[in-house]
Structure 1
Amino acid sequence: MTKLRVAIIRQKYRSDGGAERFIEHMLKALSTAQLDLNIITRSWQSTADYNWHVHICNPPNLGRLSRERGFARAARDYWKKERFDIVQSHERIMGCDIFRAGDGVHYVWLEQRARIASPWQRLRDTLSPYHHYILQAEKEMFNDSSLRAVICNSEMVKRDILRCFSLSAGKIHVIYNTIDTQLFRPASDANRYAMRQRLQLPDSATVLIYVGSGFKRKGLQAAIQALAPSNRYLIIVGQDKKVAYYQQLANQLNCLNRLRFVGVHQDVQPFYHAADALLLPTLYDPFPNTVLEAMACGLPVITSTGCGGAEFITDGQEGFICDALDINTLNHAIMAIPALSANSSLGKAARCKIEPYVPQRLAQSLTSLYQEIILHR
């Protein structure tokens, strides 16, 4: 039986990138299916030893606009030459069979970003050739007749697409991310104690964790402002060019001594094990993997209405949901989080909620979609 040749398009793999890690999880889940899996990319640094093929398309570029346009052209030329059976793009490139909207809708992101931007920044975004290109590429891709299906990782993104584009709802498939609940597990008392000792966190303190690079979009400023009046601690896993700004903000709010900036780590689980909840008041995030990871580790989640992961949370049961910029409500949510050692009911409910979302479920959903597309081609 001839294997179905599937091409996955993603411009670059970054070890701490949520979208890239999803692709690797997806490839692992699909590796048992009868598929010939191919990645078209500029750079793929994964060390995972699985049976898929990496095809490098790395045309020269002179900046981010040139980078996007050049990769789109090179990737499209390559997949047309190779004549793959299914082309699934994770980039906004016209002509693919399937688009996975893992980065959400660019127009909606700009809407949300405008809420915290200065007048000068909003004007710059409006005039930006890069944003014009991404918006146009998104529009052309969604309007292209060759697009057979769109995969969203949340109902939020599906609603955004239907609001912004004239696309049939029947083409949009919500397939949630998956989590390895055997790998991500609640902390033992010994692990929790050891990690708190390492981070110089009081054993009896209530500790929250923030995970994500790109602090502005992920809402670190709001997290610090909401945490400052409390007695809670915060572990910050991730990187940003302006990390000094956030440290200065915390210092001005007299809470820097309760923050732990630990940088980027490929293995985040030990840091989850030191925490009592995830705090992620992100402006716009289709469905960050950190929500699933934290919940699998038995942590309740405080997140925003602009986060697709909020769909897994009933307010007050697995965590709390509020507007990303509502500092007062965020503070109340922070104060409502108990230490796991005192009351783990929220955390247990969080883990229970995500347990069905295993890799096999993702593989079944994707292979069914591929078969449907081939059948009706």
Structure 2
Amino acid sequence: MKIALVHKKYTTHGGTERYMVGLSNFLVQNGHQVHVFTGSWNEKVADDRITFHKVPCWGKHLGIDKYIFARSVYKKVQKYNFDIVQTFSRVGFGDVIRIGGGCHENYVQRLMGSIDDSLYKLKKRLEYKLSFDDYFTRYYEAKDFKPNNYKKIVAVSQMVKDEVIAKYQVPAEDIIVNHNGVNIKKFHPENQTEYRLKIRKEHGLDKDDLVLLFVGTGFRRKGLEYILKAMTKINGVKLLVVGKGKINRFKRKARELNILSNVIFAGPVSNVEAYYAAGDIFVFPSIYDPCANVSLEAMASGLPLITTQTNGASGIINHGENGFILDNSENVEQLISYIKRLTDQDLRAGMSKAAREKMLDYTKEANHQKMLEVYRQIANKQRSESRIEIK
């Protein structure tokens, strides 16, 4: 098949971007002709067999880059005859539109709901109200879901599918759920043999410490504050925080709660699989995440997961078997209860095994194959009159 993939950036930085790189490589490796329409691309991760088309994407500082890109890429794509055009949401068209970011309004509402300071909340609401970027995000998101602008919608979780149906009245049969896949070879319980003691020693952790692990960029939205609050009520645990965020602010918070000696901030790392190997329980009380990849990576690494209903990855959890699902991120008492239950080594071991087994059904290969099957169904339907079957 001749397939067009459309997104503003082609790089390994960012969840959607990494997914696009992996999908495009999978497609060319399986004999398909792939064209990428993008504002910029990293040649180091680009397969030589992929054809790139440069699309104008200026105006970010003015908040109009979405508009410039969406308008320009639509005109460019129309010049070619593709079997499938796949976009990655918020450009207003595509045979297949993958929704990796959820519904913007849901994100904003949950983010606003997590802000306690009324003046700061008002400030943020005004910023969104006056933002061109926010306007065009909403405009092109709504355009994605208008009849005849798509043939199939692919949601990264059941949560996202439900949001789209509720917000835009898209028929349920038009939306396919295809959870993000995980590299089960890279993220594996056997990594503990190589990395567990090494990483613990590097960060001053004892081999017998019970370590809660948090991995994420943007600590506030990912719910780190609630983990810190929970730790004030739990004895004998350490917290290892990995990722980019306002470390000094959260160090001050930990100091105020008198738990700083039990919290280690590792910062961003390039070998995150080694840090999963160093942890015992993965705690991720996110305020909003369409389908957090770190949740899947942690489970593949054999860590029981505690997360929220507002993380789409919770749809993969069998509550009480391979993880626990919080009613909401602010429910610190519930979080405390689940962490305390997982201090039981036998329970933790059983849930660890179950977490790994669950993720064997959610590999990157399975995700890409499911996407390819969606393409084939659409392309065969389009060519049914000429009786040409797409292989």
TM-score normalised over the length of structure 1: 0.92
Q: Distance in 2 between matches of 1:290 and 1:62?
A: 28
1:79 to 1:127, Cα distance in 2 relative to 1, 3 A: same
Whether 1:232 aligns to 2:229 is: no
> Residue 322 of structure 2 corresponds to which residue in structure 1?
318
1:151 to 1:62, Cα distance in 2 relative to 1, 3 A: closer
> Residue 331 of structure 1 corresponds to which residue in structure 2?
336
Alignment RMSD (CA, Å) = 2.2
1:179 to 1:220, Cα distance in 2 relative to 1, 3 A: same
> Residue 35 of structure 1 corresponds to which residue in structure 2?
32
What letter is aligned with 2:220?
K
> Residue 5 of structure 2 corresponds to which residue in structure 1?
8
> Residue 70 of structure 1 corresponds to which residue in structure 2?
68
> Residue 210 of structure 2 corresponds to which residue in structure 1?
206
> Residue 113 of structure 2 corresponds to which residue in structure 1?
115
What letter is aligned with 2:99?
A
Whether 1:180 aligns to 2:183 is: yes
> Residue 160 of structure 2 corresponds to which residue in structure 1?
157
Q: Distance in 2 between matches of 1:15 and 1:279?
A: 25
User: Cα deviation per residue 1:157-185 (whole Å; 9 max; x = unaligned)?
Assistant: 11000000021211101112212222211
Whether 1:376 aligns to 2:381 is: yes
Whether 1:296 aligns to 2:317 is: no
Whether 1:18 aligns to 2:15 is: yes
User: Cα deviation per residue 1:57-114 (whole Å; 9 max; x = unaligned)?
Assistant: 2433152621221222222222222343311111301122111000111111112112
1:253 to 1:307, Cα distance in 2 relative to 1, 3 A: same
Deviation at 1:13, TM superposition (A): 4.5
Deviation at 1:269, TM superposition (A): 0.4
Q: Distance in 1 between matches of 2:259 and 2:9?
A: 37
Whether 1:266 aligns to 2:264 is: no
> Residue 53 of structure 1 corresponds to which residue in structure 2?
51
Whether 1:359 aligns to 2:357 is: no
Q: Secondary structure at the match of 1:329?
A: helix
> Residue 149 of structure 2 corresponds to which residue in structure 1?
146
Q: Distance in 1 between matches of 2:242 and 2:82?
A: 39
* Native 8 Å contact 1:228 1:250 kept in 2: no
Deviation at 1:226, TM superposition (A): 2.0
1:258 to 1:31, Cα distance in 2 relative to 1, 3 A: farther
What is the aligned counterpart of 2:288 among 281, 284, 287?
A: 284
What letter is aligned with 1:334?
I
Q: Secondary structure at the match of 1:376?
A: helix
1:15 to 1:216, Cα distance in 2 relative to 1, 3 A: farther
Q: Distance in 1 between matches of 2:46 and 2:70?
A: 27
Deviation at 1:340, TM superposition (A): 6.2
> Residue 84 of structure 1 corresponds to which residue in structure 2?
82
1:38 to 1:260, Cα distance in 2 relative to 1, 3 A: farther
User: Cα deviation per residue 1:108-152 (whole Å; 9 max; x = unaligned)?
Assistant: 111211211334123443443332221121112211413111001
Q: Distance in 2 between matches of 1:264 and 1:321?
A: 26
> Residue 135 of structure 2 corresponds to which residue in structure 1?
132
Q: Distance in 2 between matches of 1:269 and 1:306?
A: 24
1:25 to 1:227, Cα distance in 2 relative to 1, 3 A: farther
> Residue 98 of structure 2 corresponds to which residue in structure 1?
100
1:203 to 1:162, Cα distance in 2 relative to 1, 3 A: same
* Native 8 Å contact 1:143 1:166 kept in 2: no
Which runs of no fewer than 5 residues in structure 2 stay unpaired? 383-391
* Native 8 Å contact 2:86 2:95 kept in 1: yes
Structure 1 window deviating more from structure 2 (153-162 vs 367-376): it is: 367-376
Q: Secondary structure at the match of 2:64?
A: helix
Q: Which runs of 4+ in 1 moved over 6 A?
A: 339-342
* Native 8 Å contact 1:15 1:46 kept in 2: no
Structure 1 window deviating more from structure 2 (132-141 vs 20-29): it is: 20-29
Which runs of no fewer than 5 residues in structure 1 stay unpaired? none
TM-score normalised over the length of structure 2: 0.89
1:59 to 1:194, Cα distance in 2 relative to 1, 3 A: closer
1:47 to 1:267, Cα distance in 2 relative to 1, 3 A: farther
* Native 8 Å contact 1:212 1:218 kept in 2: yes
What letter is aligned with 1:185?
H
Deviation at 1:303, TM superposition (A): 0.4
1:252-263 matches, cutoff 5 A: 252-263=256-267
What letter is aligned with 1:78?
K
